[in-house]
Amino acid sequence: MTLEEQDKQYVLQTYARDYTNFVKGVGSTLYDENGKDYIDFASGIGVNSVGHGNETLTSALCEQVKNIIHISNLQVIEPQAKLAQKIVELSGYDMGVFFANSGAEANEGAIKIARKYGETKFDAKRYKVITLEHSFHGRTITTVKATGQESFHTPHFSPYPDGFSYEKSIEDVYKAIDDETIAVLIELVQGEGGVQPFDKEEIQKLAAHLKAEGILLIVDEVQTGVYRTGEFLASNLYEIEPDIITLAKGLGGGMPIGAVMTKHKDILTVGEHGSTFGGNYLSTSAGLAVLDVLSKLYDSGSIDETLIYFSQKLQAIAKKYDHLFEKEVGLGLMRGLRANNAEIQNAVLENTFKERLIVLKAGKNTVRFLPSITISKNEINEGFKRFEAAISSL
């Protein structure tokens, strides 16, 4: 039985898989079972923030595995407390942290915090959450409903929780607020929606308005967080102070982890929220190692150098191949090329993999780039060499 046959017989077929079998990764290069190398401009959809086989991360995991992998959250977990402190200090916000296992769980926690706040802080119950069209917030029943894409709201999984609405633009949010609104949930750069950043002044104006109205601002930083946009948080880049922030993806460097942080540190009480695996020894040790690596690179200016270099390469492609691409979009190392149509997008994705380069799709016509934060200039050069080879015939 081949690997493909095994997968198709025993694994639920919820993914449109490619069956290249990767067996090793070094930095931003993957190797398949035949020894062929692939440049990784996707980093596991923004997860492998320090690349593959990072020595600091792998050493931390190996050392922790020898001691304790997991106990329950009924006992204190030292690396969990240390990681919470590190996240809070790097964020610059006075917040408390709850650890989960994924971005969807982090967003569930954020919604629960907002609902409890709306139940206890006002004379009349507030529970409604406003999100934006083209957003993506997770795959659970609640976070699917919070996602502002109608294609996710199929009748197969209904009925969905009520209390969510979707607006076309930031300006439309103001008109949608009513006496039952408790929170606005946004991504500062819509990843799945096409790598689309929002205007900084527009976001700052919204944050100030929500604060004045006593409505919570929740920022989903599952993809934008952990230096993906150049700063530790995109919220730092936008110079706002949200009430609640969610993290996941790059925080564990490949280990499953999610986190919800909030300045309303006393809103949830004992027993109101929990997780069996969330914040265990292994995942939080991984988080500490990742932040150790990336915070040092940030302080040295290396992250800025990398994102500028990557962006320049991308801009050159967009200019040279303007018959294929409308423009370059995104922030930091969360970038995209907006193809002139979906057919070009699909052809680019197909051709790049043939050239042994891994990129992603986003939205209806965007080719997405999410390289590791630690990607080298040599890997960037080789990746774009392969990208040009892939698109030159289109």
SS3 29: strand
CA distance 194 to 389: 24
> What does the DSSP 8-state code read for residue 52?
B
**Of the CATH numbers 3.40.50.150, 3.20.20.80, 3.40.50.300, 3.40.640.10, which one belongs to the domain with range 56-299?**
3.40.640.10
Cβ proximity of 169 and 205 under 8 Å:
no
Strands (E), the chain: 22-26, 29-32, 37-40, 96-100, 128-132, 164-167, 181-186, 189-190, 196-197, 216-220, 244-247, 258-262, 325-331, 334-339, 357-358, 360-362, 366-369
Q: Running along the chain, 394 residues long, what does each successive block of 10 average in pLDDT?
A: 96 94 98 97 98 98 98 97 98 98 98 97 95 95 94 92 95 96 97 90 98 97 97 98 98 98 96 96 98 98 97 95 94 96 94 97 94 98 97 91
Q: 382 burial class (0-12, 13-18, 19+ CB within 10 angstroms)? A: middle
pTM assigned to the model? 0.96
* pLDDT of res. 191: 85
Q: DSSP letter string over 1-14?
A: --HHHHHHHHS---
Check residue 152 and give its pLDDT: 92
What residue spans define the domains of the chain? Answer: 56-299
Helices (H), 137-193: 141-146, 170-176
Which residues on neighbouring strands pair with residue 26, listed in sequence order?
29
Query: What residue type is 163 in one-letter code?
Result: G
pLDDT (0 to 100) of residue 218: 98
